Chain A
Amino acid sequence: MEIEKITIIGGYGKDGEKEKVDRFELKMGDIISIVGPTGCGKTTLINDIELFANNNTPSRRVILINDQPIPEDFSFDPKKHPIALISQHTNFLSDLPVGEFLKIHATVRGADDIELIIAETLDFANQLTGEAIIRETAMTELSGGQTRSLLIADAVIIGNSPIILLDEIENAGINRTKALELLKNYKKIFVFVTHDPRIALLSDFRIVIKAGSMQKLISTNQEERLAAGELKKIDDVVLHFRSLIRAGEVISEVILNESIKTLKV
C-alpha cells in the first residue's frame, strides 16, 4: 500500500470531553511537532498513530491511511511496515558490529545495493553525532548520541519508513538543526514529540496537548520562523559553552558576556 496521507480524527481527552482539534492531516513531506507538559498525553498520541487506532484506545481517536481505517486484524508485511517509532526507551540490543548489523537489516528489507545503503546510513548518522560511528564497533558499545543517530538514520534510509515518529530525542545530544535540515530532504512524515522550542518552530505545524486532549493546531508563520533563527543563536551559545566545558575549560562571566555580544552583532 502506497501511503499518501494519514488523517488523525480527534477523540476524547482525559476528562471525557471531545478534543478541540477534531481532525488534521499529515502528508508526505510534513514535519510536525507535538508539544505540551509532561504527562499531558504526547506519547499517547503517537502510540495512537503507530497503532492505527480505530476507536479502540483510551483516547478513542481514529487514524486513517489515504482516507481509510485499517482493519483490526490487518498485519503489515515486515518489509513494508510503514511506521518507525523511536522512543526514549528504544535501543539496540544486538552486540553485532555496526556494519554487520546494518547488513542484516538491509538484507531483510530486500535492498539492492547493500554496501551503498550501509555507507549512506552511516554517513547520515555521522552528520547527526559528534563522534563518528565506525563499522567495526559493536552496537552495544555506541554512546547514547551515536545510538539515537543510528536509530534515526537506519529508520530513514534502510527502513525507508514513510512515517517516522520520534519521542523526545532532544536529550540525546544529537545535532537537531542538522537533523531537521537532513530530514527535509526526504519526502516522509516526521512527527516529533518535543520540549525543544527550536524543533517546534522548525516544524510545519504543531499540535498542543493538554490533559490528554488536542487543544490547538498552530501553523508556523513567517514571524515564528524568524524567531527560530534568533533562538538558534542563543542555543549556539549554550552549545558553545557545552563544548568548552567538555574540553575542560574554566568558564567566567566575562567569556559569557563576550559570547552574547558577538551573538547580538
Chain B
Amino acid sequence: MKLVIFAGPPTCGKTTVIRQVIRRMLKKDYKPSFVKIDVLYADEDENINKEFGIPTKKIYSGELCPDHCNVVVLDEVVEWAEKNGSDYLFVETAGLCLRCSPYIENSLGVVVLEATSGMNLPRKIGPMLTLADIAVITKIDLISQAEREVFRYRVLEAAKDISIVESNALYGIGIDPIVKKIEKSNEIEIPMFLRGNPPVGTCTICVGKKEIGAKNHFGVLRTMDQELFYIGE
C-alpha cells in the first residue's frame, strides 16, 4: 500500500485538493481510504464517504498536536486501510504546532499552502514545508501574478528541492501532476519511521503547566532575545 500525508494550516484547501485527487484516483480504478486527524472537530470523513463511497475515518487528537497524534496512531491506521483492501491511504492532518511534521519515510508528504495567506507564510512554517516532497499552492485564482511568483520563490527558498504545484483546487486546476506523483511514489515499509528530527525537548505546556515565564518550565527554553537554554536532566 502507498501512503500520502497531506498537511497544512487550517482552511488552506487540503480537503478540496484531496477530493479532486480521490475523484481522479477512482477513475483509474484505485481503492483509496481516507483518514482525517484533527483536534476537536472534523466532518471530512462523513462528507468524503458520502461523496465517493470509500472507507473513511476520523481521529481526534484532543490534547495532542495532530502531527504528534499521527505518529502515535499511524500503524493502526495503516492496518485498518489494509483490511479495507485499499491500495492508497490518504491522511489529512491539521498540522497546528509548526514544530513537528507528520511525514513518514518511504511515503509521500504533501504540504498544502494557500497563496492568500500572505507572502511571508513560506518563511514561517518550518518542517511542515521543508520536509515535504510536494508543496501544493492553492487559491492561485485569488491573487496577483506578482504575489504568486514571490510566494513560489519563497517556498523554494525554504525548501529548495520541493516540487511545487500551483492549483485552483475548486476547478481542479493543477491536480493531475499531483496524481502522477502519487502514482510514482513508493510502497510503505513496516516499521515506519518519522522523517526528519522531531522537535527538541518535551513541551511542558502540552503536558499542562500553565504558569507564564521560563523559570516555571523545563526542557529547551529561551529568553526574549532568542537565547536557547536547557533546564532538566
Point out residues on A near B: beta carbons under 8 Å. 47, 50-51, 56, 72-73, 75, 78-79, 81, 84-87, 89-94, 101-102, 104-105, 108-109, 151, 154-155, 158-159, 161
Contacts and interface: CB of A to CB of B under 8 A. Distances in A.
What DSSP secondary structure best describes chain B's contact surface?
A: helix
18 contacts: A47-B173, A51-B174, A72-B176, A72-B180, A78-B164, A79-B153, A81-B149, A86-B144, A86-B145, A90-B142, A91-B142, A92-B146, A93-B142, A93-B144, A94-B118, A104-B119, A154-B146, A158-B146
A72 B177 contact: yes
Given A75-B164, A81-B149, A94-B119, A51 B144 contact: no
A75 B165 contact: yes
B177 A108 contact: no
Contacts of B143: 90-93
B144 A104 contact: no
A85 B145 contact: yes
B131 to A, nearest CB: 19
A159 B146 CA distance: 7
A75 B145 contact: no
Interface in B142-184: 142-147, 149-150, 152-153, 156, 163-165, 168, 171, 173-174, 176-177, 180-181
Contacts of B176: 56, 72
A115 to B, nearest CB: 17
Nearest to B141: A89
Contact of A108 (B118, B149, B171, B180): B149
Contacts of A85: 145
Nearest to A43: B171
Nearest to B172: A57
Contact of B141 (A84, A90, A105): A90
B16 interface: no
Given A73-B180, A73-B181, A94 B147 contact: yes
Interface residues of B, number: 26
Contacts of A155: 145-146
Contacts of A161: 145
Given A90-B141, A154-B146, A161-B145, A78 B118 contact: no
Nearest to A81: B149
A78 to B, nearest CB: 4
Contact of A78 (B152, B168, B174, B181): B152
A92 B144 contact: yes
A75 B161 CA distance: 13
A78 B153 contact: yes
Which of A86, A90, A92, A101 has the largest number of chain B CB atoms within 10 A? Answer: A90
A73 B144 contact: no
Given A78-B153, A89-B141, A161-B145, 7 more contacts: A51-B174, A78-B156, A90-B145, A91-B144, A93-B142, A94-B119, A154-B146
A89 B143 CA distance: 8
